[in-house]
Amino acid sequence: MKLTLKMKMRPLTRNKEWMLEQSIGAFRACVNDWLSAIAQLGEKPNRGNLHRFAYRRIRDKYPQLHSNVVQDAMNLAIEIHRSWLKNGGNFPEFHSDVIYFKGIDVKIENNGLVVPLMGKRVYLPLYVPKKFKKYLQYKHGRVIIKRIGKDWYAFLSINVPEKEPVKPIGAIGVDLGYYNLLVASDEKGREVMRVQGDALIKHKEHLEKLTARRQQRLMKKFGIYAKTNHKDKKFVNDLNHKIAKELVLKAKQLNRAIVLEKLKGLKRQKRPKQLRKILHRWSYADLITKIIYKAKLHGVPVIFVSPRGTSKMCSNCGYYVKGFKNERVFKCPKCGFQLDRDLNAARNIAKRAFLPLEASSSQRR
């Protein structure tokens, strides 16, 4: 499986930073030249026809770029053009402070990268977290260097061998929601993990206070508003990493598979007012992606089941409660069983892992 390691670059000498800036400027211009070539091509671009049409001309224009970097610029231009065809708008122009390298052209050594810049092999030192060092022994693929704010970052694609999934003795069902971002239960209804939505509320309140102070300063000095979207994204990414890691390690410790619903979107629930304005920033798809790849690293099986009926079905007797609303406690009118509604749903999800596929998909919602 592929992992992408994000590592901050250590302070560079003036000469190295100049070489990096010049190379990135040339790469940006190169991508835009490829986009212009696509506009002149007169047919749907692909690597073959676009290379034949413009490679020699563009390659000669950028002798300071490695030949593979020029080809990566072409591939990126094709991707940008495809995105433009899909989304529409003005013809695209590339502005990012970024440069791509093929894995074969980059060497990892002494906690840094050796990359081709301005016709030379240049060593760029990195801050390598301890948790990443074990991955540097594996074969690496594409390397992307990007400026974020005032800092430089390297994004390194690593091919990590997947662990053989263990044979689980049971399952952990995972229910995603609003009041509780995540509730996990085993097939017997024992709670394994719970992440409450107040984590979002506390974060929002903190950002509001921080933003208010900054806006007062900035409005007074420049008349502009402070931006905190990047803080939201970082918070969501970090919290999703922590949630996924904890869930996978618990599943590994208990020797259980992780069971997730095949959800196109969250189950429709009446959302608490405090969460309405911030839930649109939350990425459940990102959380599921992180759960899957962390599970692969630890050899924990992940199973997807039908979401039908998990919220309205009694996890004790299987009775489907048609009139069940948004009460926080699930009460079965048939057998009298009572359980936290999210825990009941998680238990249903866990139990569904042991049903044949036909039985799972035929359950009523």
Q: What pTM was computed for the model? A: 0.72
Token pair in block for residue 8: 């901050």
CA distance 59 to 109: 29
Among positive and negative, which fits the CA dihedral 89, 74, 105, 20? negative
Report the relative pairing of strands 98-101 and 170-176 from DSSP bridges: unpaired
Q: Phi and psi dihedrals of 88, rounded to 5?
A: 80, -165
Predicted confidence at residue 204, as pLDDT, reads 57
CA-based angle 31:32:34, to the nearest 5? 65
**How many Å apart are CA 129 and CA 40, to the nearest integer?**
46
Which two three-digit tokens encode residue 91? 């013809």
- What's the rounded Cα separation, in Å, for the pair 289 and 112? 28
Query: H/E element holding 2?
Result: strand 2-8
The pLDDT, as a whole number, for residue 202 is 62
Q: How far is CA 47 from CA 59, 78, 95, 126, in A?
A: 15, 8, 22, 33
CA–CA gap between residue 83 and residue 63 (Å, rounded) = 29
What is the residue extent of each domain of the chain?
A: 2-159, 170-361
Question: Which option is the CATH number for 170-361: 1.10.490, 3.90.1070, 3.30.420, 3.80.10?
Answer: 3.30.420
CB 275 within 8 A of CB 178: yes
Q: What is the pLDDT of residue 180?
A: 84
Provide block-wise average pLDDT over 10 residues at a time, the chain (365 residues).
93 96 97 97 94 97 97 97 92 95 95 95 96 90 94 94 86 88 92 81 57 52 47 77 95 95 61 49 80 93 91 92 81 93 94 61 36
Note the pLDDT of residue 360: 39
Rounded distance between C-alpha atoms, residue 99 and residue 86, angstroms:
24
pLDDT for 213 equals 58
The dihedral over CA atoms of 50, 51, 53, 56, expressed in degrees to the nearest 10, equals 150
pLDDT for residue 50: 97
- Rg of the chain over CA atoms, in angstroms? 25
